[in-house]
């Protein structure tokens, strides 16, 4: 069985933690992201770094994804973690970021999965695995985040459709919806919240956590550990599912 996994957005945050965890489990990794320096930093942190490769890749560009796969001369893939994405607000008008966010988070993820599917189908594992990183904002509306909320909600529909389409190939496709996770993106969000409220960052953090029953952010390692289970050979029953990890911030 192949132990090869492609991870997008592997240079920082959740993607880096996922990479460290899966490498520790013995997987060989293709690390993709837009910043090659960040990817190389991730690689240095991995067990047996010589077993992993890095590729600068903008998932909006199909050719970038194809290149990351072809340069490795791989025959098959055991799994894909579609983690790459961008955040932030958007406002309708001349400088609207709608297209940038949708093309990255939704279209880019769709293209990445489609390019990986032929390799997943060829793998001899009884079940192959795809995990898509969505967000709690796929389920909630937030003023000023119409593009981000829409892109992340779209990923849930994509998960269900592809899981149904490729069940016959024994490719299990699931989505995770993390809430607040202690990453650079989250810290930037707290900074923006503090600016809007004209309070300190600590005060903004405490205010944000009032909406979270457990009163805390998750750590990236927690998300990585859950993905490790989804990628285990023992996991053969979950597909087409949306799994919420949010410290109780949303209880659907």
**Residues 111-122 pLDDT 10s:** 999 999 999 999
Widest pairwise Cα distance in the chain: 56
Q: How far apart are CA 83 and CA 75, in angstroms?
A: 22
Mean pLDDT of 46-60: 96
Mean pLDDT of 178-184: 94
The phi, psi pair for 144, rounded to 5°, reads 85, -5
Three-state secondary-structure class, residue 164 = helix
Q: Is residue 2 predicted with pLDDT exceeding 80? A: no
pTM: 0.95
Give 17-48 pLDDT, tens digit per residue.
999 999 999 999 999 999 999 999 999 999 99
Q: Is residue 86 predicted with pLDDT exceeding 90? A: yes
Look at residue 72 in the predicted model and tell me its pLDDT: 79
Mean pLDDT of 4-17: 97
């Amino acid at each position: 069985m192949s132990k090869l996994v492609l991870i997008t957005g592997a240079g920082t945050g959740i993607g880096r933690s996922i990479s460290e965890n899966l490498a520790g489990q013995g997987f060989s990794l293709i690390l993709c992201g837009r910043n090659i320096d960040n990817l190389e930093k991730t690689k240095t942190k991995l067990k047996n770094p010589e077993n992993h490769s890095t590729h600068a890749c903008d998932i909006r560009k199909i050719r970038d994804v194809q290149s990351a796969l072809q340069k490795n001369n791989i025959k098959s893939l055991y799994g894909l973690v579609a983690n790459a994405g961008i955040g932030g607000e958007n406002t309708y008008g001349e400088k609207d970021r709608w297209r940038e966010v949708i093309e990255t988070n939704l279209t880019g993820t769709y293209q990445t999965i489609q390019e990986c599917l032929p390799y997943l189908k060829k793998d001899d594992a009884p079940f192959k695995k795809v995990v898509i990183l969505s967000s709690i904002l796929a389920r909630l509306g937030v003023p000023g985040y119409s593009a981000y909320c829409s892109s992340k909600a779209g990923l849930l529909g994509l998960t269900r459709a592809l899981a149904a389409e490729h069940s016959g190939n024994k490719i299990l496709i699931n989505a995770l919806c993390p809430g607040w996770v202690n990453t650079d993106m989250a810290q930037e969000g707290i900074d923006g919240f503090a600016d809007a409220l004209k309070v300190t960052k600590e005060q903004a953090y405490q205010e944000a956590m009032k909406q979270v029953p457990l009163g805390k952010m998750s750590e990236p390692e927690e998300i990585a550990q859950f993905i490790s289970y989804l990628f285990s050979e023992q996991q053969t029953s979950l597909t087409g599912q949306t799994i919420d990890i949010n410290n109780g911030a949303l209880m659907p």
